[in-house]
Every structure is written in structure tokens, then in C-alpha cells.
Structure 1
Amino acid sequence: MSLVSTTSKIDRLAQLTAGTETSSGASLWREAMRRLRRSKPALIGGVVIAAFVLLAVIGPWIAPYSPTDQTWRGEVFSNRGEFVGARAENWFGLDHLGRDVFSRMLVGARQTLLVGVVSMLIGLLVGAVIGLVSGAAATLGGRFGQRIDDLVMRVTDILLALPSLLLAVSVAAVMGQSLTTVMIAVGVVQIPVFARLLRGSMLAQGGSDYVLAARSLGIRKRRIVVTQILPNSLSPVIVQATLSLATAIIEAAALSYLGLGNPDPSVPEWGVMLSQAERFFDNEPMMSMYPAVAIIITALGFTLLGEAMREALDPKLRG
């Protein structure tokens, strides 16, 4: 029996045992896409995310006014000392400096998306590397591998024991106020989540029948880890990445709200806008409602899609 033939049979056995193929021959991802298309939460989440991304991309071009110009500074308050509010030329009204809120919402979507995606990628990439090292060390076995796994997991447990927002605030306070700081701080919070998730998934795959079959054929453990265990362990990590986008957007907005975000308050970002509007909540609550509702709806969209993906990729729920 040739090595190529043996490897192809192991690949086939891995797919069948790990649930990457269905009885009809369709791949797990193809089956998952079919289930997602039938899922109302997935469709709603997908529409929300698509609208958010579209606004983030074209927002600066369709904004009716400059988000930083204080064009209506002298018209913020009416004769009775109240905020002007929504009107024909300013759909969402004016902020306290006479800037068009609708234009700032459109342009601010790009900053919010950028922070969320970059933060998630930092957590995903670093966490995946740590989880891979720990999972491979535990799967390969040996005293040295066990020590590496124990050390990595104890550090991860320490990070997980800290409240996520408190950890993000601590990192941001140490690094200083900037948009890059917010991305790194939120990304650090995501690292232990991805690390432990990938490590646990690899350990679960390590006891599968296809791994035992590969070992019995004399295939090296390192090759089994890289070519079989790791690819079959990525589904929950991809789902978590979608869910982490929602968390990253909320935590980034929280850091901006606390004054740890972009030091230039004129740059529109939903968290910064919420922080600025909080002082005027009693007089003009809608100025706070616009960014708050936008953050909630966007986070809800990612959450709905992530939960739908989790159900679609779960072999126990396939029918």
C-alpha cells in the first residue's frame, strides 16, 4: 500500500469520523450553508451585517455634510434654550457643537467596523497560535509537552479570571490614549478565549478514531496534528470569531466612552459620540440614542449570525 493511498484513506476516515461530511457526500460547510439559508436569525443577522459594512464603506461619500465642520454652531439651541433636534436639513439633529449627527453616524460606522475587525483579528491570530502550541503539546504527549500545555493554560486561566472590560481598561491605561490602543486592548481580551477554544477542540479531535487509525499506520504525530486534527478543529474557532466581533464592537465603544479611545474627539466614532452626548442626555436624549441603538443593532447582527453558524456546524443538530 503506497503512502499516498494510505494518506488519502486517512483523510477520508478523518472526514467521516470528525463530521466533515454527511451521508449524502456533501461537505459540512456546504450543509452548513444550506442550513444557514433556511435560518431566519442567520438571514436577519446577515442583512444587519451587510448593511453595516455597506455604510462603513460608502458612508464618507454619501454623508450630506462634513462630520467635523461646526456649520450650525450658532443654531444648536432654539430661542427657548432647547436643542433644535431633527429637521429637514439635519435628519438626526445637531450635536452640542453644531455638527450634523447623521453625517457623523455614517462616517463613524467605518471607525467602529475598523476597531471591531482589527481587534478580533488580533485576538484570533495570537490566540490561535497559543491554542495550537498548547493543543499540539498536549496531543503529542510526553513530559515536556505536558509542561508546555500546563504553563500556557495557567496563563490563559489567569487572563480569563479577569473581567474582560477591566482587563481591556488596564491594557489601555498602560498604553495610553489612542485608537491603536483600543484595538490592542480589546484584542488582548479575546486572546485567551480563542486559545482555550482551539486547544479544547484539538484535544477532542485527538481521541477520534481516525487519529488512532493514523497512528496505527505509523504516520508521525506531528503530521497528524497539522494535516488532520488542526483542520477539523477550526469550525468552533470560526464561529467564535463571528461572535467576538459583536463583543469587540461593544468593548471598543465602552473604552471610547471612558475616554481611552481616539484623543481627537472631532473624529466620529460611535463610542466617542455616545460619550459626548451623555452630558446632554437630560436635554436631548436622542443624541445618545442614535449611536447606542446603532451599536446594539450591529452587535445583535453579529450575535445572530454567530449563533446560527454554531447550530449549522453542530453535527448533532444536522437533519
Structure 2
Amino acid sequence: MSLTKTEKIERLAQLTAQHETTSGASLWREAFRRLKASKMAIIGAGIIAVFVVLAVIGPWIAPHSPTAQTWRGEVLVNQGKFVGPRAENWLGLDHLGRDMFSRMLIGARQTLLVGVVSTLIGLTVGFLIGGFSGAAATLGGATGKRIDSVIMRVTDMLLALPSLLLAVSVAAVLGQSLTTVMIAVGVVQVPIFARLLRGSMLAQGGTDYVLAARALGVRRKRIVVTQILPNSLSPVIVQATLSLATAIIEAAALSYLGLGNPDPSVPEWGVMLARAQDFFDNAPMMAVYPAVGIIITALGFTLLGEAMREALDPKLRG
């Protein structure tokens, strides 16, 4: 029995959709299998897990108040000499006689908050801009392509600026605060996410399942929302993981430049590092501890992000 043209198109769409669903599920299963077998992913995930746990439970396990100048007299007697690790102060004291270990624990939460919030800001705004631009370029015809062109030229201008310079400019305009740091670092991430999502959507726009859906007369908005967008999220998820590492480093850089929290008594690794520069000659360990914390945490997110990128890369699938 021969099929009509409409029935053939419907059958083609069903087979294509089934193939894409199976392929998508297989891709994620294969990616997860590769992640479990990757030493880089395991190490990165382990570092992140330790960092998150310490950030969450830090206030409950900190042996001393991070702002209490309990041993200030002892520091004054030593004429500003750094008091190193000992039984009651595992990492020693800072220049005001505060427990460094407690400040590092509490500061981990602030550092995690800055990294996560700034990345969410960049991801959300970039997702909206890139999604709209990608949808316009993929299914919007000539008008949509013009809209996409304008949006991408603005994005290119933002990408042309050095990220730290852009972040400093935003922070300088908004004023000195921890919220300003989050917004400034988030703004830097916006064009990256926008460009990435838009490019991924353009790649998905020419696939068989999109062509089949358009041949069936499915509305363009529905194609974008239910087909193109969900299949374009893999590289964005990977970039979000990598951006967390970048956000932590850039937030620390802004704090180091004096654009972070104006209250130095509030423990945050970037602020602690900035304050420690005044005492580096006499107390270098005040800078070493937060610097090592930032480096190791950024390394964890970078390792996991790179492992995810390799696991989701079709060219590397065996």
C-alpha cells in the first residue's frame, strides 16, 4: 500500500525525532560513562565537593569567630610578626590577631557565593540574548537575520574588550561592594554565553529533525523551544562550569584592586588577599592561604569543565 505525500512526511518526522531522541540520550549516557572513567573529572569533582562542603558547614565548624581580634595583644607584643600555625590556631593569626583558619572557612562561603551568583547572572542574560538571536537567525527570515546581526555586533564589541578591564569599568560605575563584584563579573560572562548558545542553535537549525518539523508546518516558536534550544545546551553547560573558575579569579582580582567589599573584616578570599599585600614582607602566609584556596578551587572547576567538554565532544567518542 503506497503512502500519500503527507503520510511520508509524517513518517519521516517520526523516524527523525526518534533518532534524535535516541542519539541525545546515548550522547549523555556515553558522556557520563566517560566522566566516570576520567581521572581529571574525578579530581575536579573531588576538589569542588570539598570546597562546597566547607563553604556550607564552615560557620558551624569554625573554631573561632572570624572577626574577633582575640589575640590582638599577642600580635602587638610580637611587633606585627606573623604568628604561625599552632594548636589553637591551625593556620596562625592575621595582623589583627584573628584566627586565619576560621576566616578561611567563612571566606569559602563568600567566594562560592560570588562565583555562583556572577555565573548565574552571565548565564541568564547571555541565555536570553543568545537564545533570541539564535532563534531569529535560524527561523526568522531576512528580518531575523538583520536582528541577529545587530545583536552579534554588540556582542563582538563586548568580547573585544579585555574581560578584566570591562569588569573594572562596570565595578567603578556601580561603586564598591560585593554585589558590584558579582554584577561586574556576570556582565563579563554575558557575551560568552550569548555567542556560544547562538552558534549552537545555528548548528542545530540545519539538522534533519528541524527540517522535518518545518515541512510538517510546526510553528517556528515551537520548533525553537522544543527542539533546537534543548539540543543546544550541552556546550553552554560546559562553559558554565568553566566560567565558575574564571568568575572566582576575576572576583578576587576586583577585590585586590579595591573594588570588592569595603568592609575588610568580612572574610572573603579576594578581600583577604588584597589586605595581605600590606603585610607581605612580614607575614607572607597571610597572602599564601587565600591565594592557594583560590587557585585550587579554580583548578577544580577547570578540570571538571575540561573533562565535561571532552566527554561531550562527538569527535572523541569511541
TM bin, normalised by shorter chain, reads: over 0.9
Residue type of the alignment partner of 1:14: E
Partner of residue 57, structure 1: 56
Q: Hey, what's the Cα distance between the residues in 2 that align with 1:87 and 1:20?
A: 54
What SS does structure 2 have at the residue aligned with 1:20?
Answer: helix
Question: Contact (CA 8 Å) 2:83, 2:94: kept in 1 or not?
Answer: no
Quote the sequence identity (%).
Answer: 78
Partner of residue 14, structure 1: 20
Residue type of the alignment partner of 2:246: T
Aligned Cα RMSD in Å? 1.8
Where does structure 2 lack aligned partners over 5 or more consecutive residues?
A: 1-6
What SS does structure 1 have at the residue aligned with 2:275?
Answer: helix
Change (3 A) 1:71 1:193: same
Q: Hey, what's the Cα distance between the residues in 2 that align with 1:81 and 1:201?
A: 56
Question: Contact (CA 8 Å) 1:14, 1:211: kept in 2 or not?
Answer: no
Q: Hey, what's the Cα distance between the residues in 1 that align with 2:50 and 2:193?
A: 27
CA deviations on 1:109-166 (whole Å, 9 max, x unpaired) are 0000000000000000110000001000000142211111011101100110111011
Partner of residue 176, structure 1: 175
Query: What is the 5 A alignment of 1:42-53?
Result: 42-53=41-52
Verify: 1:287 aligned to 2:286, yes or no: yes
The range that moved more, 158-167 or 208-217, is 208-217
CA deviations on 1:64-119 (whole Å, 9 max, x unpaired) are 00000000101125657632222221111111111001100000000000000000
Verify: 1:133 aligned to 2:132, yes or no: yes
Where does structure 1 lack aligned partners over 5 or more consecutive residues?
A: 22-26
CA deviations on 1:280-310 (whole Å, 9 max, x unpaired) are 1111111110000000000000000000000
The range that moved more, 4-13 or 288-297, is 4-13
Partner of residue 98, structure 2: 99
Verify: 1:231 aligned to 2:222, yes or no: no
CA deviations on 1:41-65 (whole Å, 9 max, x unpaired) are 0000000000000000000110000
Partner of residue 24, structure 1: none
Partner of residue 4, structure 2: none
Q: Hey, what's the Cα distance between the residues in 2 that align with 1:246 and 1:155?
A: 25
The range that moved more, 280-289 or 69-78, is 69-78
Partner of residue 152, structure 1: 151
Partner of residue 70, structure 1: 69
The structural deviation recorded for 1:215 is 2.4
Change (3 A) 1:81 1:249: closer
The structural deviation recorded for 1:218 is 2.8
Q: Hey, what's the Cα distance between the residues in 1 that align with 2:287 and 2:298?
A: 17
Q: Hey, what's the Cα distance between the residues in 1 that align with 2:122 and 2:78?
A: 51
Q: Hey, what's the Cα distance between the residues in 2 that align with 1:102 and 1:226?
A: 48
Question: Contact (CA 8 Å) 2:9, 2:216: kept in 1 or not?
Answer: no
Question: Contact (CA 8 Å) 1:84, 1:94: kept in 2 or not?
Answer: yes
Partner of residue 206, structure 1: 205
The structural deviation recorded for 1:224 is 1.7
What SS does structure 1 have at the residue aligned with 2:238?
Answer: helix
Residue type of the alignment partner of 1:20: G
Q: Hey, what's the Cα distance between the residues in 2 that align with 1:218 and 1:81?
A: 76
Q: Hey, what's the Cα distance between the residues in 2 that align with 1:193 and 1:33?
A: 25
Residue type of the alignment partner of 1:316: K
What SS does structure 2 have at the residue aligned with 1:64?
Answer: coil
Verify: 1:269 aligned to 2:268, yes or no: yes
Question: Contact (CA 8 Å) 2:16, 2:208: kept in 1 or not?
Answer: no
The range that moved more, 297-306 or 90-99, is 90-99
Q: Hey, what's the Cα distance between the residues in 2 that align with 1:302 and 1:143?
A: 41
Partner of residue 248, structure 1: 247
What SS does structure 1 have at the residue aligned with 2:243?
Answer: helix
The structural deviation recorded for 1:33 is 1.1
Question: Contact (CA 8 Å) 2:155, 2:195: kept in 1 or not?
Answer: yes
CA deviations on 1:246-280 (whole Å, 9 max, x unpaired) are 00001111111111111111100000000111111
TM-score after normalising by structure 2: 0.93
Question: Contact (CA 8 Å) 1:78, 1:84: kept in 2 or not?
Answer: no
